[in-house]
Each structure stands twice: as structure tokens, then as C-alpha cells.
């Protein structure tokens, strides 16, 4: 029998999620299938879902309410909803206060990874109790199985 590999439990920042949901041929479009196939379990909290909802309403995306609901229905059912973590769980504070919710969730949930393209979060790699990686690094890990 083959070894069963547990899915990676990851906190994914909003920009990466939005890119995966909106751009079918984009650099992170593979992420949708990785989530659907349950190779990755996205971790969400009330604050991170509210941030996702807020960003999907940006006028530049021109999404109708139905469009937003369909995108969320293709993502949120696969997510593990975590209790709201305490603020600033680690000793490190993110330069951008808007990114702190992702860092706190990753630490508080015991996530395997925090996935981001954000320079403020990537600058904290190696300084907190969770690995902080780019979407490309996550893809390498998923493909390596």
C-alpha cells in the first residue's frame, strides 16, 4: 500500500486566493484544483473571509453579487474555518497591519504554511513559527507530494 499523504493546511493571503479564483489561466490558477482535490486545505477565519469578501467587491473586478457568490462557492466549502486567533500571537509584528490577520491565523491554527506574494509577509520568513512561502514554492511542495 502507498503512503497516505496528509493535505497541507495552509493560510493563503487574499491576493493569492483572488488571483486563483479570477484568472483561470493565471500563475496561480493551479491552486483551485489543488484545493478541490484536497491536496491543500485552506484555513480561514472570520477576519480573513471578511477581507476576501471586501476585495472581491473592488470595482476593478466588476463582479456581480452572483459572480462573487459563485467564486466563493468554489472555494469556501473546501476551507477549514478556524476560531479567530488572538492578535499578535508571535513576537513578530508585520510591517503592514492589514497582513497581521494572516500571520496570526497561521500561527494560531498551527498551519503548515503561510502562502503569500506579499513582500511584508515574505520578509518575516524564518522569524515566526510557521513557514512563509510563495505560491511557486507551495506548488513545488504539492507536486513533490
Under 8 Å CB-to-CB from 53, ≥6 apart: which residues?
68, 72
Q: Which domains does the chain have, with CATH numbers?
A: 8-144 (3.40.50.1010)
Pairing of strands 80-81, 8-12: unpaired
> pLDDT by residue for the chain (145 residues), tens digit each?
555 678 999 999 999 999 999 998 899 999 999 999 988 999 999 999 999 999 999 999 999 999 999 999 999 999 999 988 776 666 678 888 888 899 999 998 999 999 999 999 999 999 888 999 999 999 999 888 7
Closest CA to 115 of 8, 6, 39, 33: 8
Q: How far apart are the C-alpha atoms of 114 and 132, rounded to whole Å?
A: 5
In sign, the C-alpha dihedral spanning 84, 87, 91, 92 is positive
The per-residue pLDDT for 129 is 85
Amino acid at each position: 500500500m502507498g503512503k497516505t499523504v496528509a493535505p497541507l493546511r495552509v493560510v493563503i493571503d487574499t491576493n493569492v486566493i483572488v488571483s486563483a479564483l479570477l484568472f483561470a489561466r493565471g500563475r496561480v490558477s493551479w491552486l483551485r484544483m489543488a484545493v478541490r482535490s484536497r491536496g491543500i486545505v485552506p484555513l480561514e477565519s472570520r477576519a480573513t473571509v471578511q477581507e476576501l469578501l471586501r476585495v472581491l467587491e473592488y470595482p476593478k473586478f466588476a463582479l456581480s453579487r452572483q459572480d462573487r457568490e459563485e467564486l466563493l462557492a468554489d472555494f469556501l466549502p473546501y476551507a477549514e474555518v478556524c476560531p479567530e486567533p488572538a492578535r499578535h500571537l508571535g513576537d513578530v509584528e508585520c510591517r503592514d497591519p492589514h497582513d497581521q490577520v494572516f500571520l496570526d491565523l497561521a500561527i494560531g491554527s498551527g498551519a503548515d504554511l503561510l502562502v503569500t506574494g506579499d513582500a511584508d509577509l515574505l520578509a518575516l520568513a524564518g522569524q515566526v513559527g510557521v513557514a512563509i512561502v510563495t505560491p511557486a514554492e507551495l506548488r513545488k511542495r504539492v507536486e513533490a507530494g
